[in-house]
Amino acid sequence: NAGVMQNPRHLVRRRGQEARLRCSPMKGHSHVYWYRQLPEEGLKFMVYLQKENIIDESGMPKERFSAEFPKEGPSILRIQQVVRGDSAAYFCASSLSGNGYTFGSGTRLTVV
Partner 1 sequence: GESVGLHLPTLSVQEGDNSIINCAYSNSASDYFIWYKQESGKGPQFIIDIRSNMDKRQGQRVTVLLNKTVKHLSLQIAATQPGDSAVYFCAETYFGNEKLTFGTGTRLTIIP
Neighbours of 49 (CB within 10 A): 25
Nearer to partner 1, 33 or 69 (CB): 33
Q: How far is the CB of 41 from partner 1 (least distance, A)?
A: 6
DSSP state, residue 39:
T
- Interface with partner 1 includes 106 (CB under 8 A)? yes
- Interface with partner 1 includes 59 (CB under 8 A)? yes
Q: How far is the CB of 58 from partner 1 (least distance, A)?
A: 8
Extended beta strands in the chain, E state: 5-7, 10-13, 19-24, 31-37, 43-50, 53-56, 65-68, 75-79, 88-95, 102-103, 107-111
Stretch that binds partner 1, among 14-22, 37-45, 66-74, 80-88 (CB under 8 A): 37-45
Q: How far apart are CA 33 and CA 91, in angstroms?
A: 8
Give contact residues for partner 1 (rule: CB under 8 A). 4, 31, 33, 35, 40-45, 48, 55-56, 58-59, 91, 93, 98, 100-106
